[in-house]
Amino acid sequence: MARTITFSRLPLLCISRTNSGLGVGSGITLDTSIFKRRSQVARQEIKTQGIQIHTRRELTVACTSTKETRPTPRSNSPGERAIQLYERINDKKWEALEEIISKDCCFEDYSFPTPFNGKKEVLLFFKQLTSSMGNHVKFNPKKISDDEETAWVNWHLEWNGNEIPFTRGCSYYECSNDGERLVISKAQVFVESPIKPGGIVLNLLKIITTLFDNFPKQTERFLKSPHAIVQWTMRIYSMFLAPFISTLLASYINSWKLMASMLGYAFSMIIFILKIFFN
């Protein structure tokens, strides 16, 4: 009795069962060369698919491992320099920190109005930063991606291993070669804002874009020279509004000083009376 077995991408092969076992029937019309070529193609496809599946698994394991442990970037890469920057800030190793910062480094933290230019200003900023962090607050870089010259780092601050709310940030680093060393030449820092305006931002954006659309010429002038518009606005403020506002602020501050002094006298009287009755 003949049985037909179908292989994917292969022609049909007829096999006959005999009393002694299995043997190839005499009615086979398959060309042997075609069968060999098709079988080679099938083996190659299976081998290729197997290699692709193996590669995907390796990538999946690598991605899941970075979530649990600290990422390990390539040696002598921008990612490694970024990791060293945070480690040396956490450990307050100033001499080691100087080695990975270029002389003309530009550090832009968008929480500050102006960038820090030069190695001295950048190191001074880091010293002020670490003194504000104290002994228990540390940087924890979570995710790092880099290429030949740049690196991106997602980080947050921790106190004794516990994440501090509203301290997440993202930093961008550019590196250059200083002789045989790779140093950080530029940095941009984006810090999470503790104020969450939510839908107010969308409403403000709608108002601003409406003004831009209604006054296109003035908008082009403003976008081309925003600093000139700000200076012009400050001049108007100093000429017309500053005298009145400064007078109001001075009277307001003086009134609060008077209230603070009166409260201080009241508390001192209460403490004096309590000492009389309870001593």
SS3 of residue 24 by DSSP: strand
C-alpha distances out from residue 201 to 5, 20, 135, 189, 194, Å? 67, 85, 37, 21, 14
> DSSP string covering 203-258, please?
HHHHHHHHHHHH-HHHHHHHHH-HHHHHHHHHHHIIIIIHHHHHHHHHHHHHHHHH
| Segment 245-263, tens digit of pLDDT | 777 778 888 888 888 888 8
With 70 as the cut, is the pLDDT of residue 41 above it? no
pTM of the full predicted structure? Answer: 0.55
The domain limits of the chain are: 2-68, 78-191, 199-266
At residue 71 the predicted structure's pLDDT band, cuts being 50, 70 and 90, is: low
- Residue 28: which pLDDT band, with cuts at 50, 70 and 90? very low
Comparison of pLDDT for 167 and 58, the residue scoring more: 167
- CATH fold of 78-191: Nuclear Transport Factor 2; Chain: A, (3.10.450)
Q: In the predicted model, what is the mean pLDDT of residues 53-67?
A: 34
